[in-house]
Amino acid sequence: MWLILLVGAVGFAFVGPLFATGSETAVAAGYLPPGEGGLLGTDGLGRDVWQRLAAGGAGLLLVAALATGVAMLVGISLGLVLTSRRPLARGVGFVVDLLLVVPSMLTMMVLVFGLGSGVPTMVLVMTVASVPFVARFTRAAALPVLRSDYVLAARLGGDGWPRVFVRDVLPNLAGPLLADAGTRFIGALYLVAAAGFLGFSPLGGDSDWATMVQAGLEGIRLNPWASLAPALAIAAVTVPANILVDRAMRKVTQ
């Protein structure tokens, strides 16, 4: 059931932009309630909320997915470095622990201040915010594998560490790491949405779900759907995703 909701919401976000051709044109007066101005009424500028809802999800999800991918790659690499006991690895471990103390909201504020609020900034924010968690998770999952006989065999066979990691260790961690990626994706979506809501949308403009929620708040008495519809759309992705990821996580850590 949760899977259907998730697939439905994500599918809507990606198919929506194809038929939402008039999402930027004003069709009626501002903040008309549903009925008088289209299926979900109009927003403050008189644009059709239903059309804008259909157009505004894909970008948000894509940025979150991209940020997750980069953060996972960096985090897994660092996690594998952390399995070593060399001084360099310890230095990396210290930096990772230090990053753990900085709230991700502050990281976001500092980086948006210095870099502006583009997609690269969001990817960087997500990487800084989640690398400590991914690296620790990877390290914990990799250590038992590294002690196994076939890793020893591969090492005795003359394989270098990078080769062993890619050929022997990572395939064994695919399940846990995928589940962890799910957790990170929800976190990334949360951060990207929060950024949009605070007025620092990575996509620019005002046409993503999170920015729509913020923009519609001033007219919430006239047409609540201008804020409520995109807010529920975000929840329709994060809630089922989180429940499914939680189940997957329980399965792989058992």
Partner 1 sequence: MSRFRRAARTATAFAGWLLGWAAWTLAALVVVFLVLDLLPGDAASARLGQNATPEALAQLRAQYGLDRPVLVRLGEWLRGLASGDLGNTLLSSAPIGPMVATALGRTAVLAAVAAIGIAILGWGGAILSGIRAGSPLDRVLSSTALAAICTPEFVVATVAVVVFSSALGWLPAVSLLPAGGGVLDRPQILVLPALSIAIVGSGTLMRLVRPIVAREAASAHVEAARLAGLAPSRVLVRHLLPGALAPAAQASAMLVPYLIGGTVVVERAFAYPGLGSLLVQAVANREPGLLMACGGIVIAVTVFAYRLADLSQTDRS
Candidate residues 193, 206, 207, 208; the one interacting with partner 1 per rule CB under 8 A: 193
Binding span for partner 1 by CB under 8 A among 40-48, 80-88, 171-179, 238-246: 238-246
| 190 is a contact residue toward partner 1 (CB under 8 A) | yes
| 102 is a contact residue toward partner 1 (CB under 8 A) | yes
Binding footprint of partner 1, residue count (CB under 8 A): 42
Alpha carbons 95 and 78: distance in angstroms, whole number: 11
Q: Give residues 115-134 in contact with partner 1 (rule: CB under 8 A).
A: 115-116
The minimum distance between CB 78 and partner 1, in angstroms, equals 19
Other C-beta atoms closer than 10 Å to the C-beta of 191 total 23
Q: Which is nearer to partner 1, 54 or 237 (CB)?
A: 237
Q: Which is nearer to partner 1, 2 or 19 (CB)?
A: 2
Q: At 221, give phi and psi (nearest 5°).
A: -75, -30
Can you read off the two tokens belonging to residue 120?
């690269």
The minimum distance between CB 94 and partner 1, in angstroms, equals 12
Cα diameter, the chain: 75
The answer to whether the beta carbons of residues 96 and 134 sit under 8 Å apart is: no
Q: List interacting residues with partner 1 (CB under 8 A).
A: 98, 101-106, 109-116, 186, 190, 193-194, 197-200, 210, 213-214, 217, 220-221, 224, 227-228, 231-232, 234-235, 238-239, 241-243, 246
